[in-house]
């Protein structure tokens, strides 16, 4: 028999989690699929279930000017609210807007998309380039870590049995140049074949060529986890836009990324297509910047 809990406060939820291993259920849009048996039958959960959708403490989006002006997104906030919120960075709003259909976005949460830890999760590349962090809470206290350390492998996170993700932290950034593109089987309501998110800042000078002062890019669905390399980003950071426009430079950068983008074949796409499409989008992102 599976027991079901639906606390109204975070303290109650953490107390319940401390009693044993439970399945934390927020929007449940991924969990219902994972635990589905077959059409017409109710999903089968093997562990007790903790519903957290009634906890008001997890329902907020707010900035904290005293903490380096970071943005905080509670684990209970649904994707539809993130998509429309003016404080949320545009690159994240764009990625959230591409997730499934409006009805699902009115139920699914960003925290759930993260904890599901799918390499193809649409929000993850944007969160990676934003240097997002997650806060994990239990009756023992809180700990905070970078998102890229939290997601360890497909469907595997650093979450301990008595912990839950309570909010996402997005540091303040000054990266006005943004790029987001998702490749799916159709224009809307499609699962990702791959996705790419990028952010940059151009420094302009009175008497010399503009320079890329900051540049980031991350790829989804082309590896066990999101692919982002700060080492390769350093090849582009500090380069002038004239250098980007020169013959051969972009090809050199793309060649380096070819070595670390290692997708697989599955029912959605082939590895060869995913790799080439990712590299084409990377080329487009760099070419767009070279023309700014």
* pLDDT tens for each residue of 210-263: 999 999 999 999 999 999 999 999 999 999 999 998 889 999 999 999 999 999
pLDDT in tens, 92-102: 999 999 887 88
Q: How far apart are CA 86 and CA 108, in angstroms?
A: 19
Q: Are residues 139 and 200 in the same domain?
A: no
Return mean pLDDT, the chain.
90
Backbone angles phi, psi at 199, to 5 degrees: -145, 150
Count of residues making up the chain = 292
Domain co-membership, 103 together with 228: no
Final residue of a domain: which of 147, 170, 193?
170
Q: Check residue 111 and give its pLDDT.
A: 94
pTM flag (> 0.85): yes
Question: Residue 65 gets which letter from DSSP?
Answer: T
> 28 — phi, psi (to 5°)?
80, 5
CATH of the domain at 245: 3.30.390.50
Q: Among 153, 170, 187, give the residue marking a domain's end.
A: 170
CA-closest candidate to residue 109, choices 5, 29, 170: 29
> Considering 117, 140, 170, which residue would you say is the last residue of a domain?
170
227, β-bridge pairs = 219
Instruction: Please tell me whether residue 167 adopts helix, strand or coil conformation.
Output: strand
pLDDT value, residue 186: 61
Provide the domain count of the chain: 2
């Amino acid at each position: 028999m599976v027991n079901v809990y639906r606390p109204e406060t975070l303290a109650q939820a953490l107390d319940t989690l401390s009693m044993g291993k439970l399945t934390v259920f927020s929007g449940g849009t991924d969990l219902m699929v994972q635990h589905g048996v077959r059409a017409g039958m109710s999903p089968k959960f093997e562990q007790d279930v903790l519903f957290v959708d009634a906890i008001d403490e997890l329902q907020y989006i707010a900035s904290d000017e005293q903490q380096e002006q970071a943005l905080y997104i509670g684990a209970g906030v649904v994707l539809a609210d993130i998509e429309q919120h003016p404080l949320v960075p545009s690159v994240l709003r764009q990625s959230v807007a591409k997730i499934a259909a409006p009805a699902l976005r009115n139920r699914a949460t960003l925290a759930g998309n993260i904890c599901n830890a799918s390499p193809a999760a649409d929000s993850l590349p944007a969160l990676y380039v934003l240097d997002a962090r997650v806060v994990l809470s239990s009756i023992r206290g809180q700990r905070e870590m970078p998102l890229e350390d939290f997601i360890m492998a497909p469907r595997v996170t650093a979450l301990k049995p008595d912990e839950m993700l309570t909010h996402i932290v997005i540091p303040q950034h000054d990266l006005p140049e943004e790029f987001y593109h998702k490749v799916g089987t159709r224009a809307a309501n499609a699962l990702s074949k791959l996705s790419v998110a990028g952010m940059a800042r151009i420094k302009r000078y009175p008497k010399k060529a503009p320079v890329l002062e900051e540049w980031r890019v991350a790829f989804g669905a082309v590896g066990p986890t999101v692919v982002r390399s700060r080492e390769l980003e350093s090849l582009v950071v500090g380069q002038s836009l004239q250098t980007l426009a020169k013959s051969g430079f972009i090809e050199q950068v793309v060649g380096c990324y070819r070595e670390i983008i290692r997708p697989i074949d599955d029912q959605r796409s082939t590895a060869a297509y995913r790799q080439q499409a990712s590299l084409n989008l990377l080329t487009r992102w760099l070419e767009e910047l070279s023309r700014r």
